[in-house]
Amino acid sequence: MSSTRDIDKLIEMMARLPGLGPRSARRAVLQMIRKRGQLLSPLAEQMAKVAATARECLNCGNIGTEDICDICRSEKRATGEICVVQDVSDLWAMERGAVFGGRYHVLGGTLSALDDIGPEDIRIPQLVARIENEQISEVILALNATVDGQTTAHYIADQLDGRVRITSLAQGVPIGGELDYLDDGTISAALKARRSI
């Protein structure tokens, strides 16, 4: 089917996106073709625009459309606090919460002996440099509660020890969480960190 090759190719490309498979890519492409005026053409233009302008912030590693991202440039953000996250998606998750008023540092990964990922690969030297240059008083380690995430958090804490206050996100029962469905590690962490009320 030579002339539908372009459509097949589009389906194949869409199917490579995370969260989409061949079936959902087919549905999405069909829907886009049906509404090509409102959906396909504008989406193509928007993608081309983002492809041309998106880049990593030279300071923190966030994704934006300038060399220095909005958060780093904003005068409304507190300058003394840096929140260290693994990925841009984590930064976005923190921003949705809208409770942190400082700036970020995106590592872009975690230390991993297995995958041969060392401190230089995940922007840790840049973080150390920022602590020295930006008069930082507190570093909040908001890394995932996984083995790799916590290994990385400990490594960073060691590197910065004595130079700055280092904190991490509290561990415990999530809002709406039912004890019956929580793993033992979470319950044990929540019990250890119990508070008087």
Residues contributing to the site for its own copies (CB under 8 A):
1-4, 6-7, 9-10, 13-14, 16-20, 24, 26-33, 36, 39-51, 53-54, 63-66, 69-71, 87-89, 92
84 DSSP assignment: E
Closest to its own copies by CB, 32 or 157: 32
Considering the complex, what minimum distance in angstroms separates the CB of residue 13 from its own copies? 5
Closest to its own copies by CB, 3 or 196: 3
Determine how many CB atoms are found less than 10 A away from the CB of residue 127.
22
Closest to its own copies by CB, 26 or 154: 26
Cβ distance 128 to 161 under 8 Å?
no
Considering the complex, what minimum distance in angstroms separates the CB of residue 146 from its own copies? 18
Distance (Å) of CA 125 to CA 49, 53, 77, 119, 192:
32, 26, 23, 7, 33
Considering the complex, what minimum distance in angstroms separates the CB of residue 31 from its own copies? 5
What's the rounded Cα separation, in Å, for the pair 110 and 36?
41
Closest to its own copies by CB, 42 or 185: 42
Tokens 């960190």 sit on residue? 193
Considering the complex, what minimum distance in angstroms separates the CB of residue 79 from its own copies? 18
| Rounded-to-5 percentages of helix, strand, coil across the chain | 50, 10, 40
